[in-house]
Structure 1
Amino acid sequence: MQYQEALDYISEAAVPGSIPGLSRTEALLANLGSPQDRLKYIHVAGTNGKGSVCSYLQSVLTAAGYKTALYTSPHLSRINERYKIDGKDISDTRFAEIIEKTAKANDACGRQCTEFEILTAAAFLYFAEEGAEVCVLETGLGGRLDATNVIKAYDCAVITNIGLDHTEILGSSLAEVAGEKAGILKGGLAVSYEAEPEVKNALCDAALKTGTSLVFADFDELNSLVASPGSQSFIYKGEKYEISLQGEHQIKNAALAIEAVAQLRHAGYKISEAALKGGVLAAKNPARFEILSSDPVFILDGGHNTQCAVAAAKAAEDYFPKLKKTVIVGIMADKDVSGVIDALGKIADSFVAVMPQNGRAMPAENLRDFIISRGHRATAAKSIPEAVNIATVTALNNDGIVLCIGSLYMAGEVREYFGL
């Protein structure tokens, strides 16, 4: 099987959509020899910040000398991005080899798996074959019934910031969503983002039922020192750290990763202070308040819900308080569009609406009209290049900046346009 054939197989053989449940993935993995049982894990669930926390942990563990696998989703440009070992994407040749083996097992199961389930099973197979010493594993949707939750144990579980997203599947209240995310808890060690009482109670209940030792990050012990485009420094529990990722929310994500490292040390991992500090500084996560150009400043953020929009808007205002903000927005129609627009509207001088190349995306004209109905200035673009051009010219004429936000699918298109 060649690389394109592997991509074609995934597209043709996968059952459409997202179907909660573990039985299909378990059957597929059984046909592959249960590679998931040969790996050690850090399992990460949550609404926002999963990808960044995973990046911090992978970077730290690699710096500490562990052969570290990282499985994340979705990808921005190429599917290979989902499979990393020590920060390097899987090659086209290895991807084709792994998918060929997974395809045979999937065919033997009657092709009952979704795309995410096929890709997840392939990840376990790849990481096991490569002899990864630890795997940082990001859930796809939820936790309890997510395909990644077929693992039987972990060295540490991590719950990131929780908000209302995918409510049609995970529940309409924060407590319900938290309960689904906490479905990854299986005893042992776990850490969680500092949470409001409703979420904290749900997580503590789940920890109690599963015999999990759950520690919460303490943001009262967190102090930001210097924040500027390019780097941030902060003190957490008396220790100074520096990170490259942008925004106050990334400092909190780093603090959560630091708490996870403390638990991993309890579990026997040898992680020096130099590896910890060097690892969090070296961590990268594209399309998370990523500055793509400087004249004008063009910021790309793949955030797609209200919490993300609030965080990105705050960061843009913190870093560039005196500059007008032109906001490019493209979003899936099933998201909280009003919440996202209202959050961005607090800083936006004007909007450019665009439709990402995804069947669930909101048409640009509809989004433009909605933005106008919320009391903001907006125009619609027919494509990503047109949206970037309109926003860039506007920012140059107004001595302003551009913030592009709303969808990881759109973020991938924008990065490709910038040649990244």
Structure 2
Amino acid sequence: MIDLGLARIGHLIKHTPQTWKAIHVAGTNGKGSICAYISAMLNAKGISYARFTSPHLVDRWDCIAINGKPVSESLFLEVEKQVKQRDVSENIGASEFELLTATAFEIFNRQKVEYGVVEVGLGGRLDATNTLKQKSVTVISKIGLDHQSFLGNTIEEIALQKAGIIRQGVPCVVDGSNQQSVLQVIEQHAKETGASLQFPNATAVAEELAKSGETFEPHQIQNLAAAHLAFRLACPEHDAPLTSLLPAIKQLKWPGRLQKMSLENITGRQQDVLLDGAHNTQSAEALSGYVQRHLRSSGNPITWALAATQGKDMNGILSLLLQPGDQVVAVRFEPVDGMPWVKAADPKELLDLATQHGVDQSSVYSAGENVKDALTKASEMAGERPVVIAGSLYLVSSVLRLLREKSQDSSENAIWS
């Protein structure tokens, strides 16, 4: 159930102390990566922190991490049980995400961390995470059209919802590459709220990275610039140049974001595949750019393994990803634990769209609900040519879960830094 509002979560956490300083991150794309970059910076400086991001990747509890490591299943279940009992005894009727947020905040408190890095679940203004009490900085990443049924039909309406995390007297870092109408909405809301806006200098960051010999994609540079500025504002006593933090950032593992991985244990394929959770037109544009520069450069067609959530703009997404000569395997991702309202799109609908975008009818395949079959078929169809798995973070979850089940060495496919 998705039912935005702050009354229930406010009741649920009213007895949970919030002793940590919060770094609150909203946006349509890049917010999870910004959280990961900030976490790496905190870790590099030896600062204790917790992170709460969504959705989870493999297990429900991996969305909550302490100092870079997912919390244990036993701790998560113990605290979740306590939160659910409170929900029932006080007749609150909290949603699944509100229960999860309350569980995260309770764990943050128990672990006595200094900072909490928190990703907005949906929107911002009425999101359960917006009950954070000690925000040291807020961040708004790239904003695009997504979740219109909850946030509004225009990008300006969506921007206003995202800007709802802004607090009086708390600096807000904003990705300056957002379109002008989005920036105007955020600037007006910040003025009304009494908050200062800070815009990261992505050009300077790109030059700094180039001098150090490090290679990042354009959207990664934007996210890294926002993360570094947010870190400096949140932790002025630990201010450090980006170059000194790069070793920790380069060690970061952020699954499902331009992730190169082996499917050999599942399909026998020798070549790595690319796994990316692009699930809206903005993230698809970033993925398409990467594929064009790194995988299509030698004229190779791409074999895609795709899934999607019902209601996503797959026509827009596929128009950016697909080219004539490509091959497409479509599949339903597995049911999402703890999120029963999330439904996978029909593979047939995805394949119909694929053929409308120039993919030959003989080059498409439906794997139904069998993710292993989808990966095997994509590997067979591709031969030695590139394979890209995309369309949904829930497909990323299904693939990572399958990898863990098939791997004999759990450390080989560890998903967290």
Q: By the TM > 0.5 criterion, same fold?
A: yes
Q: Which letter maps to 1:388?
A: L
Distance in 2 separating the partners of 1:351 and 1:234: 36
1:264 aligns with 2:234: yes
1:190 aligns with 2:172: yes
Q: Which residue in 2 is equivalent to 1:200? A: 183
Q: Which residue in 1 is equivalent to 2:11? A: 27
Mark the CA change 1:149 to 1:330 in structure 2 (over 3 Å): closer, same or farther.
Answer: same
Q: What stretches of structure 2 of length at least 5 have no aligned partner?
A: 263-268, 336-341, 405-412
Q: Which residue in 2 is equivalent to 1:279? A: 248
Q: Which residue in 1 is equivalent to 2:45? A: 64
- The count of aligned residue pairs is 385
Following superposition of structure 1 onto structure 2, how do residues 185-334 of structure 1 map, counting pairs within 5 Å? 185-187=166-168, 188-194=170-176, 195-223=178-206, 234-235=209-210, 240=212, 242=214, 247-266=217-236, 268-271=237-240, 276-293=245-262, 295-320=270-295, 321-322=297-298, 323-334=300-311
Deviation of 1:305 (Å):
0.7
TM-score by length of 1: 0.87
Following superposition of structure 1 onto structure 2, how do residues 19-418 of structure 1 map, counting pairs within 5 Å? 19-30=3-14, 33-35=15-17, 37-187=18-168, 188-194=170-176, 195-223=178-206, 234-235=209-210, 240=212, 242=214, 247-266=217-236, 268-271=237-240, 276-293=245-262, 295-320=270-295, 321-322=297-298, 323-346=300-323, 349-358=326-335, 360-377=343-360, 378-382=364-368, 383-396=370-383, 399-418=384-403
Q: What stretches of structure 1 of length at least 5 have no aligned partner?
A: 1-16, 225-232
Contact 2:206 2:221 in 1 (8 A): no
Deviation of 1:38 (Å):
1.8
Q: CA RMSD in A?
A: 2.0
Distance in 1 separating the partners of 2:188 and 2:241: 33
Deviations 1:17-51 (A, max 9, x none): 11010000000112xx132x322100000001111
Q: Which moved more, 1:305-314 or 1:255-264?
A: 255-264
Identity across matched positions, percent: 32
Deviation of 1:217 (Å):
2.2
Q: What SS is found at the alignment partner of 1:212?
A: coil
Deviation of 1:216 (Å):
1.4
Q: Which letter maps to 1:366?
A: E
Distance in 1 separating the partners of 2:205 and 2:323: 26
Contact 2:52 2:64 in 1 (8 A): yes
Q: What SS is found at the alignment partner of 1:163?
A: coil
Contact 1:60 1:279 in 2 (8 A): yes
TM-score by length of 2: 0.87
Distance in 2 separating the partners of 1:221 and 1:271: 15
Contact 1:265 1:271 in 2 (8 A): no
The structure in which a higher percent of residues are strand is 1
Q: Which letter maps to 1:261?
A: F
Deviation of 1:366 (Å):
2.2
